[in-house]
Each structure stands twice: as structure tokens, then as C-alpha cells.
Structure 1
């Protein structure tokens, strides 16, 4: 079984001598870029990763020299470089589950005129590893490699619901620190969705992450019942209404998850 651990922040209070702080900071800089890879400068990067600007300047220079960042000399801004692709290519190539899931995901995407994603957990987020979309769903620009919050999305809530209770509560406690005074409201909505997932097999997000969008999520489990992947279906609320999710699309999504799960059992 592969063990995954939530990555510490760039300035984590953990003092484990085995952690190379320079490497951790460099990876934090790479994670500072959003799915759209919008060019950003050292000051914005420093604010996102909570590091001094001078430290970030050294890191971005090094990452540029290695090809992981591109630097626009006119604007002074950085964007992810082509070498970043090499970090994830081998892992993505080994994910045979993507090939198994894709036809079922695409069929649902075309039926729903929506986006259908396959994701895997990473700390307090879910990373998309496969995407099937239709033209109507392109208004929300997310694709493979995008990270979404676990606490406020249908996919993330379904994953939390499927975890053993102790592990779920540990995740919740870790996520709570990110929201401050807003946590009680965020937690209440998440726990309601988790309870719904326990009862119905899927979790909903009714504009909780992106105000204009709805989604439903369901998990794909190992033989021992532990969730390892999740799928979702979603899109603009004008097309993917909560009623349509509950009465039609979410049950279809659960069926898709079970099909993928059944075929992929040998590799999970």
C-alpha cells in the first residue's frame, strides 16, 4: 500500500531533521502557481508561500535556471516552465485507472453536457488526474493537474465521508486552521454533505466552492474499502441544477464509480 502524507508548508513548524527545507521551499514555490499558470512576480509568490521575498528571489532564479520556471524579463514575472511536466509524467503514465475510467466518464459527460473528473487526494486537496468535458462545460477552466479543496467540493466531501472516522477527523482538524472564524459555517455545510454521502453514496457541493457551479462526487475504493480515487460530475448551476444532480446525474455517477471500481480492483 502506498502511504501518502500531507506536505508541510514552506515554513512548517515541524522540525524533523530528515526534511530538506530548501527542497520544501522550492516545491512550495512551484505549487504557488494556479491551474491557469498566470504569470506572477516574486512579491506575489512570497505572499502565497509565506516566505521572505529575498528567499523567493533566490528560489525562482534557481528554478528558472533548471527549466522549471520561465521568466519574462520585461515584466519580471514567472510562469511554470516545461521541465515541470517531467515531474508528473511518469506517475500519470502509470495510472492505468485513467484508461479504465475515461470511456465511462466521457459517456456521462456527454449525457450530462457537463464536466466529469477523476481525482486523487493530496493533503487537504484533490488533484485531477483525468478530465472529460463538453463545450458547455468549458466555462469553468479546470483540467488535469488542477487542485480543488477537499472540504467544499462534492468530490472532496465524498472522499472525507469514505475515510475511517479517526482519519476523517484528523483531516477536518488540519483543514480548520485554514479558515479561522469562517470554519464553523464551512464545517457545518461539509458535515451535512458528508452525512448525505453516508446515506446516499455521493456528496454534493451546491455553489460552496465556485458560487456559479454545482457538483456531485463519489469515491472509488480498494478491496478493503479504503477510498483511493474519486469521480465527480458538475458544471454551471444553470445547467447542472441541484435537483438534476439528485434525481439523475449523481446516481449515474455512483454507477460509474462502481464500474471503474469493479474493473480496476486488481490494481487498487
Structure 2
């Protein structure tokens, strides 16, 4: 599997003659919608992607004509259209890793009475491509397609710890502007967990993203050692305590990652 290059922001000043700016901006519009696909207007989209409202208006009109967005005339707002779903399902259908990982994810979810996820990196985030849950874990409603930050989650921190140092530092530098004044605190917690993950093989988050939830994550590596996917186990802190993560579920999620690596060898 070829190493994927992290996408540039739509308003990036980094120049590359091979990049079609209009296409990049159009795709950034689609990424502005959350997992709940809540209808939003041009002004909110413009704020999320940091583009002029006039530019966003042209792009949303085009995407609506092509079926990638739906427009509600009564609300004056957009939501993702069926053409986006077609693209997403086509990608998921090609991910054989999901079929390999699912029974192990479900077994871990059942054991932990928690949620387990398989994710793939995208910029400074992870995108969930598979999810397994138990009834007790339904309080936190995240599923396939949800995006989570690398800096404050077990899955993301495990991935950062597994990256080559130069690549990790470049990625961390891209995160800083996203957090503003809160970055020093976020960075301190993140780096401490990255260092621990280098030794024990899994990373944890103790309410650092969703305040009432804890998680632990580990990476799935290619045969050359480069991380290409990650998985995590997490849930309400009252069930998934920090002590349980450190002594039991963290080592278990690492063991699951190694099992998946072994079975998927030659495919990654």
C-alpha cells in the first residue's frame, strides 16, 4: 500500500501546480458536514472551510446540481446528497481490512461492554470506517464516518507515536492553529501520552476529547512498520475507567491490532 499524503486545507497557501484549487475547495465543502449531516447554510459552511461566502455559494450550487448536496428551500440550508453516499460505500467496499477486523472488534466490544472502532488517518483527524458496540456504549453516538481529532484521542495519539519523528512533528505543527489558546494544554497532554505509547504500544485519553469518556488505541502497521490504520476501545468513564484501560483494555486493544496485522499481512 502506498503511503497517503495528508490533504491540504482548502485555503492553504502552499502551492503545487498539480493541485486543482476549485476541486480542492469543492471537496472541502463536502467535508464541512458532520456525521449527523445537520443542514447548514452558506454562511456556516464558509466559516467552517475559511472561504469567502460568494465562493461557497457557487460551489454549493454546483454540488447540488451534481447530486452531492441537497438543498432545502424552506430552510435555505444544505445537507449531503445521495451521490456522496455512493462514493463512500464504494470506498468502504474496497476495504478488506474491515472484514478481517470486525470479528475481533466485536469480541473486544462485548468483553469491555464498550464501543470499538477501526479508523483511517485523514489530515489531523481519524475517520471511523467500522464500528462495533454494545447497549451500554450507545450513550456516545459515534459511528462509521465520524471524524475524531488525533491530538486528544487514544486512536490518534497511538498513530502519532508510531509515525517517524519528522512526519509526526510536521503533523503536530499543522494541529496547533486548530486549537488556538488551548493548544499548550492540549499539546502537553498529547506529548506525554505519545511518549508513554512508544514504550507500551497503546495510547490513552482520559476525558480529553469527550469529557465523560475514556479510550485506548493502537495502530495496525504495514510490514515495513508504517502505521496505516488504528483501532480503539472506549466508552463512558464510569464503565471504562482509567485504571481498567491501563491494566486490561489497553493491552487487549494492542493484542487485537497485532492479530489483525498478522492475518492481513501481504494486504497492507
Does the alignment reach a TM-score above 0.5? yes
Within the alignment, does 1:72 sit opposite 2:72 as a pair?
A: yes
Q: Give the aligned partner of residue 263 of structure 1.
A: 263
1:118 shift after superposition = 0.5
1:224 shift after superposition = 1.2
Q: Give the aligned partner of residue 151 of structure 2.
A: 151
Q: Give the aligned partner of residue 6 of structure 2.
A: 6
1:56 shift after superposition = 1.1
Separation of aligned partners in 1, 2:128 and 2:245? 21
Q: Give the aligned partner of residue 211 of structure 1.
A: 211
> Alpha carbon RMSD of aligned pairs, Å?
1.1
Matches within 5 A, 1:129-208: 129-208=129-208
1:239 shift after superposition = 1.3
1:139 shift after superposition = 1.5
Name structure 2 gaps, 5 residues minimum.
none
Q: Give the aligned partner of residue 100 of structure 2.
A: 100
TM-score normalized with structure 2 length: 0.97
1:257 shift after superposition = 0.7
1:206 shift after superposition = 0.5
Moved over 6 A (4+): none
Q: Give the aligned partner of residue 22 of structure 2.
A: 22
Name structure 1 gaps, 5 residues minimum.
none
Kindly tell me the number of residue pairs found equivalent between the two proteins: 268
1:73 shift after superposition = 0.9
Separation of aligned partners in 1, 2:38 and 2:239? 28
TM-score normalized with structure 1 length: 0.97
Separation of aligned partners in 1, 2:212 and 2:162? 27
- Per-residue CA deviation, residues 171-197 of structure 1 (Å, 9 max, x unaligned), is 111212322332221111001111111
